[in-house]
């Protein structure tokens, strides 16, 4: 989902008079060349204007676009933000001294000066002559940035009066309110939360939100309906921009440390943010003019929370672990080593007795390679793999590994008929194995699944598989969930063992159809035992939600001692992953952090003894 562009303002004070007054239409009247002789209180004198002298509010206007687009004008104001250094925004922000009394018109503007021919400094009173234009990138967003470009002259008149930041409060009240502060110095006094860090390493951006992090509409901890969540999310977010005009900035901004231990997790907070309100491709943003100080409100959990019990069972999406280079996942031997080392650290940290894996390359070599690396770290034959061969027709598969010292297998591994899991010409079947605990012979079925993803939507706009509020392929996932239940029933009937634990990446959020189907059949989604704010394993477009689930059958649920999601991945910046491309400031470390894009789910079991 794209970022939303919403607008807000809250003026602390608006003076009743401006540079030339206000017209009946609500736009500030222009100053003529002769009337411009009148001095602005507290501002030093400037040279005569080479063309029509106007106040900034008359250029900004009260709508999305400037009424002066294409005109040659001269503007005067105080420099509130200087971003002329190499690899910055190639310009500065200018704000008129006197508000015009019209809350719909901005008093600030960006001066685009790519040549950097004239240096200015923050706090100077400056006169600029150039052409008004509406900057728009290739984005489909209807918003644009009003700026003055093709600058002909710049005069530094002296030190200007101090500009007081306008107070900006989120969530905003309506769609037009950011426009009224475009290019102005603002302050957000409230505490804002980092809700997305995906583009931190690529564009130096963090998405911030009010009232805590943003949530997926179908995974809301407060129980709000999806439409309410969508509307609230749109009004509650703003980008924090580093002020650079470069891809892959060096150093990566806003990290907590200068070495490989540095991070900036979703859930961290910042208060008293001050900067210029601007717009670019991804939406409205704050370009800071004062130091940004974060509070590490969501520190890295060094290990999963305790789940109790006598057995630990987990699932983890390994983000396309391939030994075939360049297919998916790693593109080089170095990347494969880096990916493997992170996954080994994560698997060691989980310390599961039985572990389901998703997104393993669909061949025996990839799983053997990963298990070999885990055992090389942990010693001996700590883990063994269930041999599932090459099931289905997808390039990835699910897999199972286990500790032979802790559990034994009962019977062969099980794969279902592929028909019920066929989607869009391919099939990725679940995998099941019955295990017994060595200490008391307590047994259960472990079923690992990976349902159809929400991406790669069908091109036919009439297709039932298009996004209808639950992502694309929701109907397919719902059918797969039904097929999974039918197959599990056959396993139970044949074995006489009704204790079933289904783990995996279901690609469905907590309140979506596939999850409802499984719960309606009597399988408890164990994530609902967690505090609502902990029910997430994935962050997409700044919104948190749970795609990874654990379901316990009616007979097994009473024997579940605990459940947790180890938030080692989803909250971490993508720039900390194993990839090497586009990382001039490479902060890689062979740690569990950002070993994948999904968080692992860990379940504790206390199984009743069996003879």
| Helix, strand, or coil (residue 110) | strand
Res 142: pLDDT: 63
What pLDDT is stored for residue 64 in this prediction?
83
DSSP-assigned states of every residue in 533-581: GG--SEEETTEEE--EEEEE-TTTGGGEEEEEE--SSTTS-GGGSS--T
pTM of the model: 0.91
The strand pair at 108-112 and 91-95 is best described as antiparallel
With a CB cutoff of 8 Å and minimum separation 6, the contacts of 297 are 193, 267, 268, 269
User: Residue 440's CB: how many other CB atoms inside 10 A?
Assistant: 14
Q: What is the pLDDT of residue 119?
A: 86
Q: What is the pLDDT of residue 558?
A: 98
The three state secondary structure string of 143-191 is: CCEEEEEEEEEEEEEEECCCCCCEECCCCCCECCCCHHHCCCEEEEEEE
Helix (H) or strand (E) holding 385: strand 384-385
- Which residue numbers in the chain have pLDDT < 70? 1-39, 116-117, 137-143, 175
Q: How high is the pLDDT of residue 606?
A: 98
């Amino acid at each position: 989902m794209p970022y939303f562009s919403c607008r807000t303002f809250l003026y602390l004070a608006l003076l009743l008079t401006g540079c030339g007054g206000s017209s009946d239409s609500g736009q500030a009247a222009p100053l003529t060349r002769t009337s411009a002789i009148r001095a602005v209180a507290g501002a030093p004198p400037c040279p005569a204007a080479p063309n029509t002298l106007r106040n900034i509010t008359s250029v900004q206007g009260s709508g999305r676009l400037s009424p002066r687009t294409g005109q040659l004008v001269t503007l005067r104001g105080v420099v509130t933000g200087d971003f002329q250094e190499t690899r910055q925004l190639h310009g500065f922000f200018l704000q008129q001294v006197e508000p015009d009394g019209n809350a719909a018109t901005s008093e600030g503007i960006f001066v685009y000066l790519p040549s950097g021919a004239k240096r200015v400094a923050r706090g100077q009173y400056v006169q600029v002559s150039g052409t008004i234009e509406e900057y728009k990138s290739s984005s489909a967003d209807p918003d644009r940035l009003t700026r003055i470009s093709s600058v002909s002259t710049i005069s530094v008149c002296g030190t200007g009066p101090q500009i007081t930041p306008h107070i900006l409060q989120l969530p905003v009240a309506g769609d037009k309110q950011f426009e009224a502060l475009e290019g102005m110095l603002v302050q957000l006094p409230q505490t804002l939360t980092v809700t997305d860090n995906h583009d931190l390493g690529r564009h130096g951006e963090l998405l911030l939100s009010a009232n805590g992090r943003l949530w997926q509409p179908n995974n809301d901890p407060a129980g709000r309906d999806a439409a309410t969540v969508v509307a609230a999310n749109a009004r509650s977010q703003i980008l924090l921009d580093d002020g650079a005009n470069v891809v892959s900035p060096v150093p990566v901004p806003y990290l907590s440390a200068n070495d490989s231990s540095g991070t900036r997790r979703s859930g961290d907070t910042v208060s008293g943010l001050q900067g210029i309100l601007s717009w670019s491709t991804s939406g409205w943003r704050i370009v800071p003019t004062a130091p940004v100080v974060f509070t590490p409100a969501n520190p890295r959990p060094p290990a999963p929370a305790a789940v109790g019990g006598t057995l630990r069972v987990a699932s983890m999406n390994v983000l396309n672990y391939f030994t075939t280079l360049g297919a998916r996942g790693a593109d080089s031997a170095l990347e494969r080593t880096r990916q493997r080392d992170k996954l080994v650290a994560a698997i060691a940290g989980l310390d599961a007795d039985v572990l389901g894996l998703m997104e393993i390359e669909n061949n025996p070599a990839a799983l053997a390679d990963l298990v070999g690396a885990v055992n090389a770290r942990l010693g001996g034959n700590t883990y063994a793999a269930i041999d599932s061969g090459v099931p289905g027709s997808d390039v990835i598969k699910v897999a199972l590994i286990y500790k032979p010292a802790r559990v034994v297998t009962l019977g062969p591994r099980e794969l279902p008929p592929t028909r019920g899991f066929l989607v869009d010409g391919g099939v990725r079947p679940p995998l099941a194995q019955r295990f017994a605990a060595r200490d008391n012979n307590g047994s259960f079925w472990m079923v690992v699944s990976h349902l159809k993803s929400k991406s790669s939507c069908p091109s036919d706009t009439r297709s039932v598989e298009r996004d209808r509020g639950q992502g694309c392929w929701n109907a397919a996932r719902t059918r797969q969930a039904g097929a999974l239940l039918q197959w599990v029933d056959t396993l139970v009937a044949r074995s006489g063992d009704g204790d079933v634990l289904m783990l995996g990446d279901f690609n469905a959020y907590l309140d979506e159809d596939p999850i409802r189907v499984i719960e309606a059949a009597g399988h408890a989604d164990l994530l609902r035992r967690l505090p609502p704010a902990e029910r997430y394993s994935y962050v997409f477009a700044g919104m948190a939600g749970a795609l990874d689930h654990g379901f316990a059958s009616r007979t097994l649920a009473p024997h579940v001692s605990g459940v947790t999601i180890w938030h080692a991945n989803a909250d971490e910046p993508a720039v900390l992953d194993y990839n090497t491309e586009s990382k001039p400031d490479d902060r890689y470390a062979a740690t569990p952090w950002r070993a994948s894009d999904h968080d692992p789910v860990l379940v504790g079991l206390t199984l009743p003894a069996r003879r």
